[in-house]
A and B are shown apart, each in its own frame.
Chain A
Amino acid sequence: MARRLGFYLLLAPLVVWLGALLIIPHIDLFITSLQVKVRPRVYELGFANYAEFFTEPLYWNTFARTALMSIAATLLTLLVGFPVSYYIAKLARGPARAVLFVLCLLPFWVSELVRTFGWMILLRETGVVSSALQWLGLTSGPIEFLYNDAAIMVGLVYTSMLFMVVPLVTTLDSLDDSYIEAGYDLGGNGFAVMREIVIPHAMPGIVSGCIVVFMLSLGNYLTPILLGGKDSLWFTEQIYSQFITRFNWEQGSAFGFLLLILSSLIVWTGLKLTGQTLGATVGQGQANR
């Protein structure tokens, strides 16, 4: 009897947390997205808010652009992060290894706002990069590096790096060196060993990193706004402006739900393609932070 009571006491916080802060809010969000205003304070159910999204090119263009830029940011993060992770897991030895790994983690304990502010100081017209180029004589006048897609990309890759490097280092670390040696012994060159042994082994880490990076890029607000300027056209900005600026919560909820569907779809596809579960990838990755 006491055992049952103990179980229900442990279950209660979980149910309250997930029920009140995850499940009910999302059901409410969906219902709100279906509310169509007919007169002030009078609503009826319908899909007009979703129809608005598909008929207004600005909205779905922004949506598609956000998705494509996020995919590009994810691939770029993987390309930049993989060699570094491989170096930490397989080439660095002794204390250097731990130090390099911690150095990779530390910047991400600093607020994203501070990191983005740093990039603004580096990239703006009067910034460090522009001044350095002038000082080197490579350009005659100041150059504005901010407020374009490349700046958004630099910021997104920077901000996501941790979530790629940690799972990659963890999975690469678990690959026994002797497999790599065996690959070379059997006559494989560096490229073949990478393709046949290292990358297949690292797949869980690659998938887990990509999923989290994609989701974070898609849902990012700070980086596109501050580094991309007025024309950044990020979908979270549309959600924000529907909610806060125009006070059209019904439209904003529909946008939010569409973003949620896209994000979940990508996460689900990534897991299905590699036959993994959410617990094994995201759960592990986060616990290892």
Chain B
Amino acid sequence: MIPSIPQNPLLLAAYRVYVGLFFVYLAAPLVVVSVFAFNDSQFPSLPWNGFTWDWFFGDAAPRVGLFHDGPLLKAIGVSVLVAFFVMLLSVAVGTSNAFLFEREAFPLKNVAYVLMLTPLVVPGIILGISILVMTNGVANRVYDAFSIEIETLRPGLVLVVLGQFSFIATIATLVISARLRKFDIGLEEAALNLGASRWTAVRTVTLPYLAPAMVGAGIVAFLMSFENFNTTLMLVGSDAPLTIALFTRLREGSTPVLNAVSLILMIASAVLALIAIALQRDRRA
């Protein structure tokens, strides 16, 4: 509160209530998802039939818990695999882009910078279909010309990784650039004066300084890949990542096992997100 400004206590109280209600609105869906993971019922809805761990550990139909649900566990594995590669690609390209935009001057740099940002303002589903149309076109032409079928260019995990990478790389670039901008170039020059080669100077001085941002960008990339739906939907083949598998199940009608997966996801993302936020704090300091 700005102390010098007179406040009507009644208005202020109403304002506080509003902010309180806002946080109830934010929390409500997540709370109900978590609570119904423990409901002793076939459906994630009221009435409350008492507490159970069945939706995590149940091993017989109709109560197959998360840890015995083969397809769901496999979907989690697929998501982790995809997110891992998206993370590696995004951090690598993001670091390279950061050096390019912060250190180099070249013609059309502004155009390149705006182009680098555009994936953030292209709807995800359009990124998905455009990559689908292109790769499929290439695969068809190769097949017509050489009668060779290139499986990796058909819908599947490789395309999912590329599709997600196409916009997550922008985020990684921004996060890593922000830290590189604050780097004192004098430190690198000192290393050069002391006889280090350019590459040695970057590797032993600049990259360690960038490490928190690279780890932070990696976590952000992993989370964004893990939760991506729109782009993935258009590029997915027979191996469904978790969000696609959950979507299919939700449309078929859900059991509380979906709540159990959601709860585990929430805990994992919250932990990773808090680490990422802590790293960004460190960066600002």
Contacts and interface: CB of A to CB of B under 8 A. Distances in A.
A199 interface: no
B230 interface: yes
A126 B120 CA distance: 38
B29 A158 contact: yes
Contacts of B119: 22
Given A21-B162, A113-B243, A124-B45, A102 B121 contact: no
Nearest to A9: B96
Nearest to B27: A107
A218 interface: yes
Contact of B30 (A107, A126, A260, A277): A107
Contacts of A160: none
B223 A109 contact: yes
16 contacts: A14-B116, A22-B118, A29-B126, A32-B133, A91-B2, A110-B262, A113-B227, A113-B229, A114-B262, A121-B45, A126-B46, A158-B25, A158-B29, A180-B5, A240-B233, A263-B121
Contacts of B106: 7, 11
Contact of A102 (B28, B115, B229, B277): B277
Contact of B112 (A14, A83, A218, A226): A14
Nearest to B163: A21
Given A7-B106, A181-B5, A279 B265 contact: no
A23 B112 CA distance: 12
B227 to A, nearest CB: 4
Interface string B166-182: 10011100110110000
A118 interface: yes
B137 A83 contact: no
A171 interface: no
Given A83-B18, A286-B171, A287-B175, A117 B254 contact: yes
Top 10 A-B residue pairs of the complex, sorted by shortest distance between their CB atoms: A118-B29, A219-B123, A25-B130, A111-B227, A109-B273, A21-B166, A287-B174, A25-B134, A10-B100, A29-B130
A218 B123 contact: yes
Interface in B109-139: 112-127, 129-134, 136-137
A105 B171 CA distance: 16
B266 to A, nearest CB: 5
B174 A278 contact: no
A141 interface: no
Nearest to A154: B25
Contacts of B27: 107
Interface string B43-74: 11111000000000000000000000000000
A117 B19 contact: no
Interface of A: 2, 6-7, 9-11, 13-14, 17-18, 21-26, 28-29, 32, 80, 83-84, 87, 90-91, 93, 100, 102-107, 109-122, 124, 126-128, 131, 158, 161, 177, 180-181, 184, 211-212, 215-216, 218-222, 226, 236, 239-240, 243-244, 249, 252-253, 256, 259-260, 263-264, 267, 277-279, 282-283, 286-287, 289
Contacts of A100: 19, 23
Contacts, number: 256
Contacts of B123: 215-216, 218-219, 236, 259-260, 263
Given A249-B133, A279-B114, A103 B25 contact: no
Given A113-B247, A118-B33, 19 more contacts: A2-B198, A7-B100, A11-B100, A11-B106, A13-B92, A17-B169, A21-B165, A25-B131, A84-B18, A105-B273, A109-B227, A110-B227, A114-B262, A117-B33, A117-B250, A126-B43, A226-B251, A256-B130, A260-B122
A159 to B, nearest CB: 10
Contacts of A289: 171, 220
A253 B131 CA distance: 11
B136 to A, nearest CB: 8
Contacts of A28: 130, 133-134, 137
Given A121-B44, A249-B133, A226 B250 contact: yes
B115 A18 contact: yes
B269 A256 contact: no
B180 to A, nearest CB: 12
B104 interface: yes
B104 A7 contact: yes
A75 to B, nearest CB: 17
A119 B29 contact: yes
Given A11-B106, A14-B112, A279-B114, A221 B125 contact: yes
B227 A256 contact: no
A266 B23 CA distance: 30
A243 B26 CA distance: 34
Contact of B117 (A87, A121, A216, A278): A278
Which of A128, A216, A253 has the most B CB atoms < 10 Å from its CB?
Answer: A128
A132 B230 CA distance: 34
Given A109-B273, A111-B229, A121-B29, A87 B265 contact: no
A286 B120 contact: yes
